[in-house]
Structure 1
């Protein structure tokens, strides 16, 4: 359970939910959320949303930019600097994801709704008109959607049968449709079909590897067919395990730990050794034996974690987003070596930001990338190209980091419950505590 929420960085649209539009160079506790039993916080480019349960129903709170209905308040306005109640969802909320300027939500009944900006059809409603309140995506009705994946302006939905539907911006081929036209309503992504993914991987192998793999794969398939068993997507090693939608590219991970990609590649974010966009999925051969367990499509770069907690990065590196100690783009996956014996446990990144946080198996929190608005809770440097250990941030109020969401130039940290131990001789700690509480406890100690 989230006990406290802190925000810091850019605040021109009130996205920090601090009841003003003043930037925060140090973490600021959002006190009025302490009693709201927050379950989750998500961030878009300039807006944030939180979920809480009230009277048995999931309530959505929102703050930030609302010029195109991003906050689902039922009206458009410039911005909102305090978390407001947007609406109460009917049924339990399975997932809620923010694009740059839109939001998509999945209910326990498999219903998918969307709201906000819609110029490229990212709401999936068959038109390009913005919506300032939740609207059901009718094209996904009766599809039994189990997962949603939201990028900056493009989206995917995975059904219980393993079918993937995509919609939104497709100017770089990020929907893997074989063309570069936007889609205003969900369409079946045939290239994400398990048989097509298997074919892509086998065709891109060397001839020697291909022949051995065809034999190894064909025999089990023939046995399953002869025995009459259903080939459920979870049982097929080439079915999709997860999808990560980035700024203008897409990374997918199969159940047998293979990575495929499509979309924009101007900075090398597809990891295919060139800068050419792809309108259909391609296999990332350089990661074939790394046993990748999670993938992250960010703004113009990508990351992946393997079973040992090693981090691989590739793509744009203008702001040090790759954590390689320099600012050179990488066109193939590159192992990040500066963590030593520590292993990456969680990655907190975004499709619209240039900064990132990770936690390790040692319980440490690190951050790197763009920091011109102190979005990494560090006021000394505007760009950080190697891991910065955020000691104070990782244990604010004596708690632990539950989640971090990031937007353009800002960050929101959710903390678990903990006990604050105030040392009156370390006044520099004031910047990471709620000021009023700090002085109350300081007076009690004296």
Structure 2
């Protein structure tokens, strides 16, 4: 076992449950869940397995395990095997999987429409076998992101689709109504979006020009707009390229981190645990330039 794999197993305890031989064959691993207690991994022969907490069937392993809250042995997700899955994203109790050819599969809770499956068949229910989102079958999806109860997808054309829970306006559609089908975020359809990310109830998009847009819940300042409002249901440009051009963005539960093209780190939102790296525990409602003194491993 390589040093990198040993470090990974030490840092994520649930990986210690894997059989050593099987662990050697893994090419991609995805750990999720509120307590990092769910695992999906892909082997070199393109088989997909999952184990851990199975709330609402989010592990995608079918009816045989419906009555088991905890799956202690890796089980195949047969629907995803051989489909060249390249990305996963997870919400509170649902997951999305993206294939190399730009198709999306979803399973888990559909309570708020976060799986984007037909209302007649799946409204409000849970799905324990991944289903392809047919309403996006004619789009080539290059990115996916899940909030707690909402989902986003980014197309090759730079268009964002959103669906699911929208109480805080996290779909960016100008209202607070849930969506049970993928809906285009029209305000950003001409911005050439290249990356998306979701926090618990907020969303972020990055344009090819390096501009950053945010929308949704703002109780901790996680939209970076500098205003004390609880939410905003339309996208707001918070970094416009004048001072910083952003190349990468990611979200925590209630905070955002962004890296500029010249390597500077900015953060905003919740900082109760020091997750912004500012040297204090004060929340930041505007993008804060983090002073990186030194790094090492």
1:195 aligned counterpart, secondary structure: coil
Alpha-carbon distance in 2 for matches of 1:160, 1:254: 12
In structure 2, what is the equivalent of residue 188 of structure 1? 237
Matched, 1:78 2:125: yes
* Match of residue 8 from structure 1: 51
Q: Alignment length, in residue pairs?
A: 245
1:27, distance to aligned residue in structure 2 (A): 2.0
Query: Which residue of 250, 256, 266 corresponds with 2:256?
Result: 250
| 2-structure distance, mates of 1:101, 1:159 | 24
Deviations 1:243-298 (A, max 9, x none): 1111111111122222121111122222222221111121221x1443xxxxxxxx
- Residue number in structure 1 paired with 2:11: none
Normalised TM-score (structure 1): 0.52
Task: Give yes or no for contact 1:259–1:288 (8 Å, CA) kept in 2.
Answer: no
* 1:98 alignment counterpart: 146
1:273 aligns with 2:283: no
Q: In 2, are the aligned partners of 1:62 and 1:83 still within 8 Å (CA)?
A: yes
Query: In 2, Cα distance between the equivalents of 1:162 and 1:35?
Result: 35
Q: 1:360: which partner in 2?
A: none
TM-score where L is the length of structure 2: 0.76
* Structure number, greater radius of gyration: 1
Matched, 1:165 2:213: yes
Would the aligned equivalents of 1:258 and 1:288 in 2 still touch at CA under 8 Å? no
Q: Contact 1:43–1:49 (CA<8 Å) still a contact in 2?
A: yes
C-alpha distance in structure 2 between counterparts of 1:120 and 1:52, whole Å:
30
Q: What are the superposed Cα offsets for residues 400-423 of structure 1, whole Å, 9 maximum, x if unpaired? A: xxxxxxxxxxxxxxxxxxxxxxxx
Deviation at 1:170, TM superposition (A): 0.9
The verdict on how the C-alpha distance between 1:51 and 1:270 changes in structure 2, with shifts beyond 3 A counting, is: closer
1:63 maps to what in 2?
Answer: 107
Q: By how many angstroms is 1:156 displaced?
A: 1.5
Structure 1: segments with no counterpart, 5+ residues: 197-237, 291-307, 311-446
2:190 to 142, 167, 177: 142
* Distance change (3 Å), C-alpha of 1:82 and 1:91: closer
1:76-112, CA deviations, whole angstroms, 9 ceiling, x for partnerless residues? 2231111122224333212111122111111111111
Q: Kindly tell me: are residues 111 and 81 of structure 1, through their superposed partners in 2, closer, same or farther at Cα, counting changes over 3 Å?
A: same
CA shift for structure 1 position 5: 1.2
- Mapping for residues 230-379 of structure 1, pairs under 5 Å: 238-285=244-291, 287-290=292-295, 310=297
Asked whether the equivalents of residues 168 and 233 of structure 2 are also in contact (C-alpha less than 8 Å), the reply is yes
2:171 maps to 123
| Larger RCO: 1 or 2 (CA < 8 Å, sep 6+) | 1
Partner in structure 1 of residue 12 of structure 2: none
> 1: distance between equivalents of 2:181 and 2:262?
39
Q: Alpha-carbon deviation of 1:72?
A: 0.4
Q: Residues of 1 paired with 2:247 and 2:254: CA distance?
A: 20
Instruction: Give structure 2 stretches of 5+ with no counterpart.
Output: 1-26, 28-41
Q: Using the TM superposition, give the Cα deviation of residue 145 of structure 1 relative to its aligned residue in structure 2, in angstroms.
A: 1.5
Distance 2:169 2:218 in 1: 10
Q: Does residue 97 of structure 2 align to residue 50 of structure 1?
A: yes
Structure 1 runs of 4+ off > 4 angstroms? none
After TM superposition, give the deviation of residue 161 of structure 1 in Å: 2.4
- Separation in 2, partners of 1:126, 1:267: 32
Superposed CA deviations along residues 380-414 of structure 1, whole A, max 9, x for unmatched, are: xxxxxxxxxxxxxxxxxxxxxxxxxxxxxxxxxxx
Q: Please report how far the alpha carbon of residue 25 of structure 1 lies from its aligned counterpart in structure 2 after TM superposition.
A: 1.9
